[in-house]
Amino acid sequence: MSSTDAASPVLLAVEGVTKHFSGVTALSDVSLDIRPGEILGLLGENGAGKSTLLKILSGVMPPSSGHITFDGADYHPSSPQDAKRLGIVTIYQELSLIPTLTVAENIFIGRAPIGPLGLVSWRRMEEDSRAIIARVGLSIDPMTPVSALSVAEQQLVEIARALSLKSRLIIMDEPTSALTETEVQRLLSIMDRLRRDKVAIMFVTHRLEEASAICDRMTVLRDGRLAGHLDRQGGPIALPKIIEKMVGRAASELYARPAQRAVAGDVVLSVRGLRTVRDPEAPHAIVLDGVDIDLKAGEILGVAGLVGSGRTELARAIFGADRIAAGTITLDGQPIAPASPADAIALGIGLVPEDRKHQAIFAALGILPNFSVASLGTFSNGFGFMAERRERDALAGFRKMLSIRMASVEQAIEGLSGGNQQKVILARWLARDPKVLIVDEPTRGVDVGAKTEVHQILVQLAARGIAVMMISSELPEVLAVSDRIVTMRRGRITGEMPGIEANEEKLMELMALDKRDTRGPDAKEQAR
């Protein structure tokens, strides 16, 4: 079915590509190749370097060193447009279609067919579009606005557009993460059809089974380096092999587990049967489907799950940021129903959100207002005037305690490194002395050295009796700091285990595999 035989010429060859970002090496000496009519899986954990490689291939940025050839010629695209022109199209998770335009307009954007009078020929555009989308198995009216399509359909339109541009390599970045099971199957069968048409596909995914089912070969990255290539030899590539390559033999020393701490205290936060509603404006967003979770004083509960597993939604629901459809939350034995983050904060809950830039920091403001924004009441007097002396003293204390490196508290926070920004955000919550602190991807965009510091801070906080819930898709991190770990997939809890008993293989299985997904909760249901 595939043409991985060495005889067919290599379409894209990446040789020894390295990429540095201001001192940090994101990608180091990575090589791979792909042939026409082949589906190559690109796998690796978060931070393994997949997105950096993708950005280089799609023309967003050049490599620091290394060599890339495409179709026998040197390949250095100057922009994503240039990459497209050369025949490599990348389809990102955030789709690039213009929602207000029709399918046909999107396909022919910038190259609409022109009629005899020099005007756009709508009829030809419609007819051609119909033929183009038929290639990916879509039978919708090409004059439908894109906003009316599902995410899956939009993806297919993007693929169709790529094909109509005579693309020879289509890179798909996590194409299945927002799709339902049937939509995934449809996408996979279309990928198979494209393979027969001699299109090369690079399939970047977290979903191991899907990768195993469709890929001819896989390239696995780990910590910015090549972890190895896997080949389909007769049958699909076995999952344990992939997992082994992804996680490596031993977790990196950076995540050395701190000594086991004293046993956690009483249950502080308890969640039962939590469900969220489908937002009509985001029909494909993840909804929570009956989540039960307990959080004890002085423990760090690790929540492991892939993007789209519902972990962030769980945090937001507890924090009052999203609407809850059903279920109960109790804090210190009292039922609570936070209708807004302000309510949750008043009750003693803090959240360090996953997207620091958009959800946590006030980029242009100084460090001082960034620090005190959640405690304006504490740092002001009865007349509403800021008690700036007290505010500065408090910040100075946290600056020392968390070793926040800054030139001055007047400095705009955007001038700090990611790690120091995150410490300011942690200080924002610590100033409130919360009972429960939820941290969502606490070390995303934080450089390696500072990651360890953030982990140590979380351990310290737990030691002070705060109930810490840490959401992360980086398994070594979850393993390093959690006292207890739960895994999530598709809006459900799929497993729970003490931190010492967990390892990456176990967690990865619970997070990524469909078998468990159905078995886990069902078994639980029967047990009741």
Partner 1 sequence: MSVAGEQNQRGGINITRLLMSFGPLLFLAALVVVFTVLKTSFIDPINLFNITRQISITGLIALGMTFVILTAGIDLSVGSLLAFCGMVAAVVAKGGTANTLSLSTSGTQGYGWFAALLAAVVVGAAAGGVQGLAITRLKVPPFVVTLGGLTVFRGLTLTISNGGPISGFDASMRWFGTGLIGPVPVPALIFAAAAFLCHIVLRYTRYGRAVYAVGGNAEAARLSGLRVDRILVSVYVIVGFFAGLAAFVLSARLNSSEAVAGIGYELTVISAVVIGGTSLFGGIGSVGGTVVGAALIGVLQNGLQFNNVSSYTQSIVIGLILILAVAFDRWLKSRVRR
Name the residues that contact partner 1, by CB under 8 A: 319, 321, 340-342, 344-346, 351, 353, 358-367, 369, 372-374, 376-377, 379-380, 384-386, 388, 407-408, 410-412, 415, 428
Cβ atoms of 164 and 132 within 8 Å: the answer is yes
The nearer residue to partner 1, 133 or 413, going by C-beta atoms, is: 413
The nearer residue to partner 1, 61 or 365, going by C-beta atoms, is: 365
Give me the sign of the Cα torsion angle 239, 241, 247, 249.
positive
Distance CA 291, CA 273 (A): 5
Nearest distance, CB of residue 96 and partner 1, angstroms: 23
The nearer residue to partner 1, 162 or 351, going by C-beta atoms, is: 351
Nearest distance, CB of residue 58 and partner 1, angstroms: 25
Nearest distance, CB of residue 405 and partner 1, angstroms: 12
Nearest distance, CB of residue 367 and partner 1, angstroms: 8
Contacts of 275 by beta carbon, 8 Å cutoff, 6+ apart: 287, 288, 289, 290, 291, 324, 325, 326, 327
Residues found in the chain: 528
The nearer residue to partner 1, 275 or 432, going by C-beta atoms, is: 432
The count of C-alpha atoms lying within 13 angstroms of the C-alpha of 454, restricted to the half-sphere facing its C-beta, is 27
Give me the sign of the Cα torsion angle 407, 412, 417, 422.
positive
Radius of gyration of the chain (CA): 25
The nearer residue to partner 1, 121 or 417, going by C-beta atoms, is: 417
Distance CA 295, CA 272 (A): 12
The nearer residue to partner 1, 115 or 377, going by C-beta atoms, is: 377
Give me the sign of the Cα torsion angle 298, 304, 310, 311.
positive
Cβ atoms of 237 and 212 within 8 Å: the answer is yes
Nearest distance, CB of residue 174 and partner 1, angstroms: 23
Q: What phi-psi label fits residue 332: left (phi over 0), alpha (psi between -120 and 50 degrees) or beta?
A: left
Q: What is the dihedral of CA 84, 88, 91, 94, to 10 degrees?
A: -50
SS3 481: helix
Nearest distance, CB of residue 384 and partner 1, angstroms: 5
Distance CA 167, CA 83 (A): 10
Nearest distance, CB of residue 172 and partner 1, angstroms: 29
The nearer residue to partner 1, 161 or 428, going by C-beta atoms, is: 428
Nearest distance, CB of residue 469 and partner 1, angstroms: 16
CB burial of residue 270 (10 Å; 0-12, 13-18, 19+): middle
The nearer residue to partner 1, 104 or 361, going by C-beta atoms, is: 361
Name the residue among 82, 39, 433, 46 with its Cα closest to residue 212.
39
Nearest distance, CB of residue 328 and partner 1, angstroms: 22
Cβ atoms of 366 and 372 within 8 Å: the answer is no
The nearer residue to partner 1, 319 or 398, going by C-beta atoms, is: 319
Phi then psi for 181, rounded to 5 degrees? Answer: -55, -45
The nearer residue to partner 1, 48 or 468, going by C-beta atoms, is: 468
Nearest distance, CB of residue 360 and partner 1, angstroms: 5
